[in-house]
Every structure is written in structure tokens, then in C-alpha cells.
Amino acid sequence: MGIIYLLILVSVALAIFFLVAFVWAIKSGQYEDDYTPSIRMLFDDEIKKENGEI
């Protein structure tokens, strides 16, 4: 039965890890703009270079 202590503690620790990750995500402003990054990733590197040469 002793293993149950370890299992519970591991599961709580895991959950705490995700909670910390969530808080970090909020604090770093990831939820403030949920639209722009989806567009930004479409900007191709290649085209940027092409423009850079002009």
C-alpha cells in the first residue's frame, strides 16, 4: 500500500508543474494576443531575404 503515497505525491507534483507553466504563460502575455502569432508564422524566411536584398 506504501506505493500509493508516492503515486499521489508524483501526481500532485506533476499537476503543480503544469500549474506553474500556466501561470508563466499568463504572465508572459501569451493569452493577450491569440491572433497575430498565427499569422506571423506564415511569413516565410525566404521572402524576407528577397526583400532584404532590395
Partner 1 sequence: MVYQIINENGLDNYYSIEDKPGIKPAEKNAKFNFLKNEELAGSLLEFQSEQTNNISLFLPQIHCSSCIWLLENLPKLHKGVTYAQVNFVSRNAYVSYNPKDISLYELSVLLDSIGYPPVFEKKKKAEKTINKSLLIKLGVTGFCFGNIMLLSFPEYLGLKDDVSEPVKQFMQVLIFVLSIPIITYTALDYLKSGLKSIRAGAFNIDVPISIGILTLYIKSTYDILALNNASYMDSFAGFIFFLLIGKWFQSKTYSSLSFERDYKSYFPIGVTKLKEGKEEIIGLDEIEIEDEISIKNEEIIPADALLLNDFAQIDYSFVTGESTPVSINKNDKIFAGGKLIGTAINIKVLSSVKQSYLTHLWNQDTFKKQESKYAQISNVLSKRFTIGVIVIAIISAVSWLFIDTTKIIDIVVSVLIVACPCALALAVPFTFGTVMRFYGKRKFYIKNIFVIERLSRITDIVFDKTGTITQTDKDSIEFTGDQLTSIELDCIGSLVKQSSHVLSKSIYHSITINNTLNVSSYKEEIGKGISGLIDGKHTLKIGSSDYLNIESTKEETAVHVSINNEYKGKFIFSNTYKVGIASLIHNLKKDAALHVLSGDNESERENLEELFAQKEQLNFNQQPLDKLTYIKNLQEQGKSVMMVGDGLNDAGALKQSDVGIVVTENTFNFTPSSDGIIEANSLIDLDKIIRSSKKSIVILAICYAFSICYNVVGLCFAVSGNLTPLIAAILMPLSSIFIVVLSTLLVSRSFQKHYPKKDKSSSNKN
CB of 44 to partner 1, least distance (A): 7
| Contact predicate 25/31, CB 8 Å | yes
47 interacts with partner 1 by CB under 8 A: yes
C-alpha cell at 8: 499521489
10 interacts with partner 1 by CB under 8 A: no
CA 27 to chain CA centroid, Å, is 12
Q: In whole angstroms, give the CA distance from residue 45 to residue 24.
A: 29
Residues in contact with partner 1 by CB under 8 A are 1, 4-5, 8, 11-12, 15-16, 18-19, 22-23, 26-27, 31-36, 39-40, 42-44, 47-48, 51-52, 54
